[in-house]
Chains A and B, each alone.
Chain A
Amino acid sequence: MSLDAGRCPNGHLSCPPHPRCPECGEPQSETVDLADETATVVTWTTSYATPPGVREPNTLAIVEFEAYDVRLLGQVDGDVEIGDTVEATYTEELRDPEAGIREPASQAWDGYRFSPS
């Protein structure tokens, strides 16, 4: 399993990837795996009113992979504050695919949670 960011020929990254680079419009021709990188918490929240199939409470953070100048949002295990360093851990099912409104087959449900490193 990998945590892929898309990269265009001009070196811009986005995570998740897009068919074309949001910054310059070139195709994102390669991917960079961020799974083993550490990141810094930009901001966080704990949600106490979650939709069907989502854990409650659900702590979420936007983190920045400073080495790559790219940000990502994800669930958090444990307590974090702005500026904390976190690492990514693979999780098979982030929410129950059958409980929500979205068609289960239309997307992936596994991914990476962050926790203090």
Chain B
Amino acid sequence: MTDVAIIGASMTQFGERDGWVCDLLAEAATACLDDTGVRADALDHLYVSNMASGEFEGQTGVPNALAHDIGALGAYTQRVDQTSSSGGAGIYAAWQSIASGASDLTLLVGGEKMTHRTTGEATDVIASLTHPHEYKHGVTLPSFAGLTARAYLDQYDAPREALAEVAVKNHANGVDNPHAQFRKEINRETALDSPLVADPLRLYDFCPITDGSAALLFCPVDVAREYTDDYVRVAGVAGATDTHVVHERPDPTTMNGVVKSGERAFEQAGLSPEDVDVAELHDMFTILEFLQYEDLGFAEKGHAWEDAMDGTTARDGDLPINTSGGLKSKGHPLGASGVAQGYEIYKQLVGEAGDRQVDAEVGLACNVGGFGNCVTTAIFEVGA
């Protein structure tokens, strides 16, 4: 297999945007190509990570539209939909295209346009991924988070404040991310006093609804230096599924898709959790940061909350988590999120993260679809 490099990355401003999905995708795509000095007509493959452009805006066929808009005509295109983990699945697809030798230059663009819908409508579009039995009871992704958070706090005797600490940390990180939807610090009391959304979780335990796009450019490692001095190597990338019906899992606080995708990615990379210097975890809900932190092996089951409380996962801690601000403050444009996780790790590893910069040679991104139904974990290393 060909060793795979990432030689460029971009993300648009996340938040409420005027543009529609094709505008956002083109903005990130052209920024990534321009940044790397690559012409669009040089692309062999062009992938678009997107969950629901048809449902949100009545626009389908976006990869082909993007190829035309950016001047990549002739490139092979493909849409990657893996719900919330479409971006991570896109990293997998792009890696596969280069590793297999099918493509020598692949652009991955993730994007979603959501904010023109009401919160209820957007929640319903996302909840449409659930099983008919779940859907008819009015289950939403936030309500899965409420069910899981209650079980976690009860099972591990964790304080409610620990979840607030995740929100406080990720908002603090987002202040230094110029592309983040929210750039505002909050304190623990603000989080704990915010309105109940899915008891015991409150408003500040949830990510917002967001428009945005992000892009990554892939090529074989052995030609990476022809494009750039600084690149990142994809050391390992793997996906896995868990039950579609969430209540059929034996332990609501364990996400087996995270466990399996993590094990496979670490094995491929020849690395272990102790080797990771910085990670982006899918904090669509604060509780998810704990579940992934444990299921990836950064802490024993039931102990992630301690590392949030004692500052281990803060930007100046031993294992900074979500230096980008996470989905929590950066925003969560579904198809873009996994790609934007890759953007943050790329920036950290090549030393271009600005005020968010930490000392890192190995970074990990875990992108969760559904409520852990499908997961992709990617491990990146500084290019040698």
Contacts and interface: CB of A to CB of B under 8 A. Distances in A.
Interface of A: 14, 16, 22, 42-55, 58, 60-62, 71-75, 82, 94-95, 100-102, 106-111
Interface residues of B, number: 41
Contacts of A108: 132, 136
B55 interface: yes
Contacts of B142: 47, 49
Given A50-B120, A71-B248, A72-B247, A62 B140 contact: no
A111 B136 contact: yes
Contacts of B197: 47-49
Nearest to A43: B151
A62 B138 CA distance: 14
B147 A94 contact: no
Q: Which of A58, A72, A101 has the most CB of B within 10 A?
A: A101
B53 to A, nearest CB: 14
B121 A73 contact: no
Nearest to B251: A42
A60 B120 contact: no
Contact of A52 (B121, B136, B143, B150): B121
B127 interface: yes
A16 B134 CA distance: 9
B55 to A, nearest CB: 6
B198 A111 contact: no
Interface in B137-155: 137-140, 142-143, 146-151, 154
Contacts of B149: 45
Contact of A60 (B137, B154, B195, B200): B137
Interface string B101-125: 0000000000000000001110111
Contacts of B55: 101
B137 A49 contact: no
Given A44-B147, A73-B246, A100-B124, A106 B132 contact: yes
B135 A107 contact: yes
